[in-house]
Structure 1
């Protein structure tokens, strides 16, 4: 059965489904009034309602237009202290159970000059999130979690966790956590910083990490396993891992969702104005339960149905 589940997850979408997912939660990150923050230190910042167009960052792929189309939450860590810094954002009073899906748009920025000429001494930071959050921990702990570096500056640029247990490279679809692996680098070619950031003198960003481009993180949970994908604005998708694929990484799925931003290194960037993350359009969908096999197929198909549902609503 474990092998069947893996094949279904890896296949992406193997059957047509007319099942409509129920949207349980949505937030465009324009206000922090409904959000809590647990931080490992006071050297971090979460600025809700931040107009990221001021940094020449385009509208997030799943924004729905209007006055808030280019606003989200700006995330900064290890701003001045020179110490490990991690924090988690979570929606106050929310809890999810059963089979469901978390999606959110993410942008990661950094100082390209320092990354290229300074050996990424202070630019490498992580963004991600997950499900099953306990509303308490600042760091990766309970639940199913995924993190990625902004600039490819770590030997483990893609990190997944099941209740705090760090997945081995062999448990990643690539067989590696390093962004230079072709599984990641072929999907995420290096992208140059936006022209308005005045970083045009430097080459394109690092392939295999999502710097200077929007991606959508997606964590799907069903029957004790979580299929993790990223999606590009055009709809192309990459399977990153299936947490607890073989039953060796059990995790807590019931609980809240969380968005995580972190700097796991003591170095401080010389340009904190250029080194940050943006998160927009946080959505939780319930995955229907027509039976185990079909439910697991829907886990992989749900993003396509979700995009179709959104496009119809926009017409």
Structure 2
């Protein structure tokens, strides 16, 4: 009995160590409090990235992966197609970074929009997209470099969840749900509609759109072994949903990217309510599979010695 307990304890320790890249070595982390060390590639000037934005002023709670301190509710505020009514997209990237092999990208996402316009105004909304990915080439203003994922803020597109492998826009059938539409139960049951923060004075309107990350923190996660990328989203509770496995050819070596876009011509009448926030960007190394075997081998040695 003692031997079983000893082996189980050792094996559990190995499992905790290698259960995910979050347990691996941290390669990069930024709480988005400053734009120093970040580059921006944009297709036009009608966009904005405000680093160090105190999102608590909008009634937004602390992001789930913040570590506390003075910057706990500080991130980068993202805005696109602010006034011109033209397609607007831009990519943020940490300058001088290059990641190779097996690694994982995680970042906290919040999206905001005008509920009255989207829900009560019988409008398709001013649909904007937020996301990012790995294998970024450092030059593209938009998606089309590496493995990337985008999601709408308020479900105004039939393709609310979009995945890309370099220049390839993955077909709906390649998504885990078999569809890109956020109204599908696969997404909507996981991301139920959430009402805006009370301080935004939108409480008189119905809760937001199900199947999108509007008005709630969601952590985006992209994990690669160098050839395949698995993309998940995670709630603050720890509940997780797989979005897609990208096994089409893509460039995994390179930088990371954070993307914000408006692919449509509509301009919101409430730019103060239409934006995205990203916080707590982290890249971690994934331990080699052999390391797990060595850990379990050590557990076996412990058992024999016991």
State the TM-score, normalizing by the size of structure 2. 0.88
Matched residue, 1:138: 141
2:72 aligned with 1:72, yes or no? Answer: no
Which of the numbers 166, 176, 199 marks the counterpart of 1:163? 166
Q: CA RMSD in A?
A: 1.5
Contact 2:75/2:277 (8 A) holds in 1: yes
2:227 aligns with one of 207, 224, 233? 224
What does residue 250 of structure 1 align with? 249
Number of residue pairs the alignment of both structures matches: 276
SS state of the match for residue 262, structure 1? strand
CA-to-partner distance for each residue in 1:13-70, whole Å, 9 max, x for gaps? xx93423401000000000011000001000000000000000000000001111100
Which 4+ stretches in 1 moved above 4 angstroms? 291-294
Give the drift of 1:221.
Answer: 0.5
Which of 206, 209, 213 aligns to 2:209? It is 206
Match of 1:18 in 2: 17
The alignment partner of 1:132 has SS state of: strand
| Offset of residue 118 of structure 1 | 2.8
Structure 1 residue 292, shift from structure 2 partner: 11
Contact 2:232 2:240 in 1 (8 A): yes
TM-aligned CA distance change 1:289 to 1:232, over 3 Å:
same
Q: Which has the larger radius of gyration?
A: 2
Q: Is the 8 A contact 1:109 1:274 kept in 2?
A: yes
State the Cα distance separating 1:288 from its structure 2 match: 1.2
Q: Are positions 1:101 and 2:100 aligned together?
A: no
- Deviation digits for residues 79-127 of structure 1 (CA, Å, limit 9, x no counterpart): 0000000000000100000000000000000000000133344421000
- Residue range with higher mean Cα deviation, 18-27 or 139-148: 18-27
Aligned counterpart, 1:38: 41
Counterpart for residue 300 of structure 2: none
Native 8 Å contact 2:125 2:156 kept in 1? no
Match in the other structure for 2:95: 92
Mark the CA change 1:123 to 1:293 in structure 2 (over 3 Å): closer, same or farther. Answer: farther
Any unmatched runs of 5+ in structure 2? 1-13, 294-306
Match of 1:81? 84
Counterpart selection for 1:215 from 212, 218, 228: 218
Task: Give the gaps of 5 or more residues in structure 1.
Answer: 1-14, 295-315
Distance 2:33 2:159 in 1: 32
Identify which of 130, 148, 151 aligns with 2:151. 148
Contact in 1 for aligned 2:100/2:254 (Cα 8 Å): yes
Equivalent residue, structure 2, for 1:128: 131
TM-score (norm 1): 0.85
Residue 280 (structure 1) aligned with residue 272 (structure 2): no
